[in-house]
Structure 1
Amino acid sequence: MGELTRIVPFEMVDAALAETGAVQQRLRKIPARVVVYLLLAAALFDDCGYLAVWRKLTASLEAIPVANVTGTALWHARTRLGARPMQALFDLLRGPATAIRTAGAHFKGLLTVAIDGTCLDVPDSPLHRARLGGITNQYGTSGYPQICLTALVACGTRAVLDAAFGPRTSGETVYGTRLTRSLHAGMIVLLDRGFSGNPFLTAVAGTEAAFLARISAARRPPVLERFEDGSHLSRFGGLEVRIIECEITIITSQGRTTGLYRMATSLLDHHRYPASDLVSLYHERWEVESAYFAIKKSMLGRRVLRSQTCAGISQEVYALLSAYQALRIAIADATGTTPGADPDRGSFSVALRCARDQIVRAAGIIADTAIDLVGTIGRAVLDQLMPARRLRVSPRAVKRPLSRYAYKSLRVDRHTHTATLNIKILTPTPTS
């Protein structure tokens, strides 16, 4: 894994293998430890088959005898390993990858995290269709079978704290409930409307983590007490919450758009957590979308997963999450050495390209006597820091038109696109 081997060292891989009983019982041409690194490398080279990834891993090892393997041998090695060692490795890697001083990671002392779901395409085989089904519309069943991936992401670093996945038919709230095992006091969880049901919010509150969730505008919770910041006390079943109603206006070169939003939070102290601060904080929920973009676009290139079996899909997803987490740790470590550097400014694409180069060159696997906390990947990230984040808005426009000439009709210069955001806290009208 090149320099990423320092983040995923041999001892960590061996611990995951030992924990799951996956250490080979006899000497093999492809040991279990090597298979783990092959799977991690394959997550970084989305456009290659496993045999091509093997050749990249061994390209710079001319001085070392390397086994001559076939694609079939690699398939048998991956099948013997199974998914549990990769899950155990992800459990060792997952976490916020942040410190208390990391810019943008905390809100008034609370670690800011978000839960959301996305879908990943899997190969269109009879086995996957039988287990996962397909996308149905008025024309019948179409598209690839999909799995639903739901992740708990640290907004400050976009690192993954936990993840759960399975058939899309179960829904993201089912997998989101499993993620409550990783919630605890000292966190604030940002949730969209899909996770705003009473059972899920009650489960989150039971972990002692705070939450801030957007709720449907059609939902009219009772007003029990009004606060001076414009919010009011209410109740969802047996759970006390504060309700914040606001009007958000976005002004761009395309005009003005105004929307009404209603949010619920378990932070009842309106003096310490004013409504305006919470509304501004909710914008950080977009960081989980950025994490999914890095996984699906930068790493996968919007491609379908490789594996033809259900166990192989699980193995591949855990390898994908582990490789993603290793890159996020590298970015967080690098930006942590520069005062005031926000991990948001660290380019995931730069880290990914540099990590690929390190793998092919087999460089940086063994650390020198003087430990370099930044490393080659970190220096590449710091040398190409992105500018400070502009206000994130998503104007209604076709991002991928059928004709390239259709871009002219958008009349939006995406290189200089700016926006202004106005927030107005609303006071609810009394209900009889």
Structure 2
Amino acid sequence: MRFHQHLDETFSYTEELNSLDKFLSLLDPDIVEQAFEVSGVATLRRRRLPLEAVVLLVIGMSLYRNETVWDIASKLDISLPGKKLLVAPSALVQARQRLGYEAVRQVFEALSQRTFETKSFEQWCGLNLLAVDGVVYRAQDTHENIEAFGCEKNVHGESPYPQIRMCCLMEVSSHLLLASEFDARHVGEMKLAERLLKHVPANSLTLFDRGYYSLGLLNLWHQSADNAHWMLPARKDLQYEVIHQLSEHDAVVTLPTSPQARKKFCDLPDKITARLTSYQVNGKQYRVLSSLTDPLRYPYDELTEVYTQRWEIELGFKEMKQGLHQAKHALRSKKPDMVKQELWGLLLAYNLVRMVMIDATEDTPDLTPTRLSFTLSMRQVVTFFITVTTRSASKLPEHYAYLLDTLRLCVLPDKRPDRVYPRAVRAKPSKYPKKKNASQLN
């Protein structure tokens, strides 16, 4: 059911609503209530700041990155009527602590799963294309955050900013986040990727970076769901044995596993069967490993083009850090639990914007969600929550339909096929002003 149809049924009897009502209609109150019960924060007491309102506040912290928490609560009008017009800042802090981070995580995971199951996405050879990669966020320089997350060490000591390492699973055709795991900076991406195994959907192909080469992880990934496959670039020193040569540049091979890997992964066999494919792009040779060993179902000509989609997750990280996070140096929360809550709120806010972008392109075959500007779409969604009148609930579906029409105008320019971005090491900036020469002084 389309969102505006759901709103038409939900608000057909309502005369007045606020931002919280709009938010719960988009998010589905059943998901929020179930998340509260699973996390153990559900309560029968009716407060002026209910838990549903606090979830919206946490999401608003990402949508309004340059505003204070108190200003966000005032703009969104999330509190219930009371003796005082506005709630005190201390009440917002206590409300966030009462909510915790596990409830926001449960809301994010339930919403991601429902969206992936109910929406249709582009497929490759009958498989949904996914990608896994890692990203790092900085937290505020407090003693609690340093103890919980740790700092990056360098030759001059430790960095003053604690760091959180995150690993995400993303659907590449829409940039929708399916799952995410994060922990202290000393926890590696391989460990975080193992925690994503329970979220791997059936009939999917996951694209990994070269650094995720672990036969134990790849074997578990292939067994985690029905028809779940993986692909990643082959190492230069790859050791393998050809068991069936499909063509000159395509072969089914066996990869030997090490005793250390078999000790760590109990079900890991002595050898793993995989497919080694090589191809050339602009005269440069590339090789990829995959679990797609069936050459009839996954032909060579299509296999050589699919791995380029892995870059989409990098663009998704850019949208989160530069779009939602406004390229800020660090998160705003000062305690570890609130840092985790803020991160889950950021991921939830990102997916909510992506959901609206998916709705906007659902009936337009020539337009995909990734062709829309995330920054412009996010601004339109924020405007929708603030400016849509709260006295005309029956017209809310019309306002949402207008929002979708507006998002369809936020199309990005066509990509330039001849544009290249060579890797380069940036020069370290100097804290001293550059000395001017004689010609510049005259």
Identify the TM-score tier after normalising by the shorter chain: 0.7 to 0.9
Partner SS, residue 361 of structure 2: helix
Task: Give the corresponding residue for 1:139.
Answer: 156
CA distance in 1, matches of 2:341, 2:204: 30
Note the residue ranges of structure 2 that are not aligned, 5 or more in a row: 1-18, 258-270, 431-442
Q: Deviations over 1:194-251 (max 9, x none)?
A: 21211111111112401111132222322222112621111223321001123332xx
Aligned residue runs from structure 1 range 306-317, under 5 A: 306-317=332-343
Aligned residue runs from structure 1 range 265-414, under 5 A: 265-303=290-328, 304-361=330-387, 363=389, 368=394, 371=397, 375-391=401-417, 393-397=420-424
Structure 1 364/218 Cα, relative in aligned 2: closer, same or farther at 3 Å? farther
How many residues are treated as equivalent by the alignment? 394
Structure 1 398/275 Cα, relative in aligned 2: closer, same or farther at 3 Å? same
CA distance in 2, matches of 1:400, 1:325: 35
CA distance in 1, matches of 2:69, 2:119: 40
Single out whichever of 353-362 and 159-168 deviates more from structure 2. Answer: 353-362
Task: Give the corresponding residue for 1:426.
Answer: none
**1:247 corresponds to 2:280:** yes
Whether the 8 Å contact between 2:388 and 2:399 is mirrored in structure 1 is: no
TM-score with structure 1 setting the length: 0.83
Task: Give the corresponding residue for 2:55.
Answer: 36
Q: Which has the higher contact order (CA 8 A, sep 6+)?
A: 1
Counterpart of 2:92, as a letter, is: L
CA distance in 2, matches of 1:189, 1:68: 47
CA distance in 1, matches of 2:277, 2:53: 53
Q: Deviations over 1:326-351 (max 9, x none)?
A: 11110011101223212211211111
Task: Give the corresponding residue for 1:183.
Answer: 200
Residue 231 of structure 2: which of 198, 205, 212 is its match? Answer: 212
CA distance in 1, matches of 2:365, 2:426: 36
Whether the 8 Å contact between 2:48 and 2:82 is mirrored in structure 1 is: no
CA distance in 2, matches of 1:82, 1:99: 27
CA distance in 2, matches of 1:399, 1:56: 40
CA distance in 2, matches of 1:123, 1:81: 21
CA distance in 1, matches of 2:392, 2:103: 23
CA distance in 2, matches of 1:364, 1:332: 25
Task: Give the corresponding residue for 2:172.
Answer: 155
Whether the 8 Å contact between 1:96 and 1:159 is mirrored in structure 2 is: no
Aligned residue runs from structure 1 range 72-221, under 5 A: 72-95=90-113, 97=115, 105-207=122-224, 208=226, 209-221=228-240
**What's the Cα RMSD here?**
3.0
**1:19 corresponds to 2:38:** yes
Counterpart of 1:344, as a letter, is: T
Single out whichever of 274-283 and 168-177 deviates more from structure 2. Answer: 274-283
CA distance in 1, matches of 2:197, 2:248: 30
Note the residue ranges of structure 1 that are not aligned, 5 or more in a row: 250-257, 404-432
Q: Percent identity?
A: 25
TM-score with structure 2 setting the length: 0.81
Residue 166 of structure 1 and its aligned partner are, at CA, apart by: 0.7
CA distance in 2, matches of 1:278, 1:241: 14
Residue 397 of structure 1 and its aligned partner are, at CA, apart by: 4.7
Task: Give the corresponding residue for 1:51.
Answer: 70
Counterpart of 2:233, as a letter, is: R
